[in-house]
């Protein structure tokens, strides 16, 4: 039995997700946005029966048992924690909240309600090319230990279609290439290798501070470029370059896992490999058409495909259980959970810190909430930096 769904947010991901959910048989019962008008418009566009700007009006609905938190990051923790308390399953957008403190709140809530699903939206874990890559790594396709993972992502501008200044233009509100794309990269490494970063070096930059429509008092502070290196606990080196600052670029991704004797590489949605001095061979070509009718979107095709597969997995988790909102674990056991979300925040935070200190920074996963004074001074420090 599939749960009814409540959606927080009305951005591009929501517009893509809702038809995908419907195709899998889910019913979308309610949509929330910060303003009534925006919520009403989205409800009309997407044919959702109920809209509101009050968080509780979605969370308390009896016909809603699964919540998608796809609103700005400053509300992730508040909504997720409350929803779990009310007994609703959660899929929260990446990265979890604005900071480790946010993510830690979510982790604690998730641990407190282990019978509820609590996932982070990292669709690349469900992309067939990466599933095949993980399988090939497990079967020792490379023949010798992994030495290096080299990732390069190019993307178009990460702001809204409307070109209006919103949270995605703002570093302190969780916008930018590091949060929105880098989080997927960090999580992908966890998924593929099951290994964490010990220390990182990063360089985070905002090259484009104004656009034709954003050129007034407020400048864009969200970074549109980052390059970072991670040393994993098993000695593997990861280097990633994410460039989203060149207007009109199409999305391109290449994830290359190297050993001394071969490599595996995902380009777009396809997987290639080379071993024992041989030529590169095709291991998996993503020729399968998307089953779900997805509107034209600025979202990368690989992301949308991963999303489809993730929704399909959620269907498999809920469908076999007759009890309302009951579920089985296996179909979603490879998804990112809130602990993964906390770790991603820890790495992103270390990368930002490294970019400022110009040094390598050790990754420290938060285990206790900082006291309020510390928190305040951190906010002041960060604001001061973003003003300078």
Site residues (CB under 8 A) for a copy of itself? 147-148, 150, 152, 201, 203, 205, 207-208, 225, 227, 229, 237, 239, 241, 243, 245-249, 258-263, 274, 276-278, 358-360
The DSSP-derived string for 195-230 is --EEEEEEEEE------SS--SSPPP-S-SEEEEEE
**Residue closer to a copy of itself (CB basis): 216 or 248:** 248
CB of 141 to a copy of itself, least distance (A): 13
Strand partners, 121: 93
CB of 235 to a copy of itself, least distance (A): 10
**Residue closer to a copy of itself (CB basis): 55 or 214:** 214
**Residue closer to a copy of itself (CB basis): 112 or 207:** 207
What is the rounded CA–CA span in Å between residue 350 and residue 190? 16
Angle in degrees, CA 5, 71, 37, rounded to 5: 85
**Residue closer to a copy of itself (CB basis): 292 or 361:** 361
CB of 41 to a copy of itself, least distance (A): 27
CB of 256 to a copy of itself, least distance (A): 8
Angle in degrees, CA 189, 190, 194, rounded to 5: 115
**Residue closer to a copy of itself (CB basis): 356 or 377:** 356
**Residue closer to a copy of itself (CB basis): 103 or 350:** 350
CB of 282 to a copy of itself, least distance (A): 16
What is the rounded CA–CA span in Å between residue 388 and residue 200? 24
CB of 39 to a copy of itself, least distance (A): 32
Q: Which residues of 282-315 are buried (b: 16+ CB within 10 A; e: fewer)?
A: ebbebeeeeebebeeeebbebbbbbbbbbbbbbb
Q: Which residues of 233-246 are buried (b: 16+ CB within 10 A; e: fewer)?
A: eeebebebbbbbbe
């Amino acid at each position: 039995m599939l749960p009814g769904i409540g959606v927080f947010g009305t951005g591009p991901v929501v517009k893509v997700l809702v038809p995908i959910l419907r195709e899998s048989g889910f019913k979308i019962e309610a949509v929330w946005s910060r303003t009534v008008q925006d919520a009403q418009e989205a409800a009309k566009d997407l044919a959702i029966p109920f809209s509101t700007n009050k968080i509780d009006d979605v969370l308390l609905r009896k016909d809603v048992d699964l919540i998608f938190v796809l609103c700005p990051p400053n509300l992730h923790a508040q909504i997720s924690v409350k929803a779990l308390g009310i007994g609703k399953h959660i899929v929260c957008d990446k990265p979890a909240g604005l900071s480790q403190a946010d993510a830690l709140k979510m982790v604690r809530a998730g641990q407190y309600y282990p019978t509820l699903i609590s996932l982070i939206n990292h669709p690349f874990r469900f992309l067939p090319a990466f599933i095949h890559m993980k399988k090939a790594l497990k079967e020792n396709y490379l023949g010798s230990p992994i030495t290096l993972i080299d990732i390069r992502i190019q993307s178009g501008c990460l702001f809204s279609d409307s070109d209006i200044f919103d949270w995605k233009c703002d570093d302190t509100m969780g916008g930018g290439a590091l949060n929105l794309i880098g989080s997927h990269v960090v999580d992908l490494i966890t998924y593929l290798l099951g290994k964490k970063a010990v220390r990182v070096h990063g360089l985070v930059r905002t090259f484009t501070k104004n656009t034709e429509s954003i050129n007034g008092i407020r400048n864009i502070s969200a970074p549109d470029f980052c390059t970072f290196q991670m040393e994993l606990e098993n000695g593997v080196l990861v280097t990633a370059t994410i460039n989203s600052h060149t207007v009109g670029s199409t999305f391109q991704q290449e994830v290359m896992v190297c050993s001394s004797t071969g490599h595996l590489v995902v380009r777009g949605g396809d997987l290639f490999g080379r071993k024992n001095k041989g030529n590169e061979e095709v291991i998996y070509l993503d020729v399968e058409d998307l089953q779900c009718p997805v509107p034209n979107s600025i979202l990368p095709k690989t992301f949308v495909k991963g999303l489809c597969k993730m929704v399909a997995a959620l269907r498999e988790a809920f469908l076999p259980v007759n009890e309302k909102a009951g579920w089985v674990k296996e179909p979603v056991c490879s998804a990112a959970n809130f602990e993964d979300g906390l770790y991603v925040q820890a790495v992103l935070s270390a990368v930002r810190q490294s970019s400022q200190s110009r040094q390598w920074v050790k990754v420290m996963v938060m285990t206790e909430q900082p006291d309020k004074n510390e928190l305040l001074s951190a906010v002041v420090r960060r604001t001061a930096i973003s003003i300078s």
